[in-house]
Each structure stands twice: as structure tokens, then as C-alpha cells.
Amino acid sequence: MTNQHPMTDLTQKLANLVFNDVQMYDGDSQHAHHAPWGSITVVDRMTGFGWRDVETGFCDPDEVFWLATGNFDIRDFPDLSISEAIELIKENANTCIASPPE
């Protein structure tokens, strides 16, 4: 058993994270988990092109951001550790890849 606080323990399973619902527009949803190691967000939304998409983002503590689109929902991988989930988001990032804040 680890002595780390659960909010900073990157070895815990993704299934153990609590994703909070965030207010969105009609029919769209956002789920977010914020921790000292960064934030993971999952958005299900209607795109400007007329189809629905699920997008998963990761923002690290330095506000560098990765976004994986194309119906990529990291919550579909509950057995991954948090660090493995972060790496999978980065590997699948296809829209924003290590984009620093402006």
C-alpha cells in the first residue's frame, strides 16, 4: 500500500477517479477530474460540422494541453493507472498536442 495521498498517487486506477459533471449546452456534456497532477476532461458535444464527438483532454500543472478527438473517451479504460491514462491521452492526441497556454 502506498503512503501517497490518493489525489497525487498516479498508480491508482482510473476507475477510482471521480469525474464531476460540468454545466454545458443542451445535449452536450463535460466530465472533469482536477488534481495536483493535472486535469482530465471528457466532452461529448455536437461539433460545428454537424456530428457528435467525444473528446478527452489532459492539462498538466504547467497548463500544457493535449486533446484526443474522434470518440476517444479515456473512461473506457478503467483498468489503466492514472499515469498510463495520461500517456494514452498524449499518444492519441490529434488536435492539440502539448499546446502551451497563450
Q: How far is 3 from 22, CA to CA, in rounded Å?
A: 31
Residue 91 has pLDDT above 80, yes or no: yes
**Secondary structure of residue 38 in the 3-state scheme:** strand
Predicted confidence (pLDDT) per residue in 20-36, tens digit: 998 777 789 999 999 99
Q: How far is 76 from 48, CA to CA, in rounded Å?
A: 25
The rounded percent of the chain whose pLDDT value lies above 70 is 92
Predicted confidence (pLDDT) per residue in 60-85, tens digit: 999 999 999 999 999 999 999 999 99
CA 32, 35, 39: angle at the middle one, nearest 5? 45
Residue 8 has pLDDT above 90, yes or no: no
Length of the chain: 102
* C-alpha distance across the termini of the chain, in Å: 40
Higher pLDDT, 46 or 83: 83
